[in-house]
Amino acid sequence: QQTSEMDHTDNDCLLITVLTHGELGMLYAKDTHYKPDNLWYYFTADKCPSLAGKPKLFFIQACQGDKLDAGITLTSRTETDGFSGSSYRIPIHADFLIVFSTVPGYFSWRNTT
């Protein structure tokens, strides 16, 4: 919350990285647990106007369950996506990129070596 109250006029973006333990809908800290959306709650355009229109990036490395994703083998593919637009109004959650290391319900792996 303290960081959201600062003046970010001279900053180009916000980047927050969290590496912790967790379960579905919950992250663990040393002495408490909290919902992941508590990380970005204070950085919406209405609460932190000096970051409005600037990228806000959140990378979360934590388990979200106990399932194991065995994965599959892929062959290469090409995908293109085009978008063009004109004047628009942004929602308060615009410019957010929220990345979890796994999908809900699954383990998250990290290499400790």
State the catalytic residue, choosing from 13, 33, 63, 93.
63
Q: Catalytic residue at 48?
A: no
Cα(62)–Cα(65) distance, rounded to whole angstroms?
Answer: 9
Distance from C-alpha of 62 to C-alpha of 90, rounded to nearest angstrom: 30
42 within 8 A of 82, measured Cβ to Cβ:
no
Per-residue pLDDT, averaged over 24-33, amounts to 95
Q: Which domains does the chain have, with CATH numbers?
A: 3-67+88-106 (3.40.50.1460)
Quote the tokens at residue 20: 């912790």
The pTM of this model reads 0.77
Is the pLDDT at 23 greater than 60? The verdict is: yes
63 is catalytic: yes
**Taking a C-beta distance cutoff of 8 angstroms, is the pair 26, 33 a contact?**
yes
21 and 12 Cβ atoms separated by less than 8 Å: no
Set 8, 13, 21, 48: catalytic member? 21
> If 0-12 CB within 10 Å is exposed, 13-18 middle and 19+ buried, where does residue 20 land?
middle
Predicted confidence at residue 76, as pLDDT, reads 65
Say how many Å lie between the first and final Cα of the chain, rounded. Answer: 34
The pLDDT of residue 20: 94
Q: Summarize pLDDT for 58-93 with one digit per residue, the tens.
A: 999 999 999 988 778 777 665 555 555 556 566 788
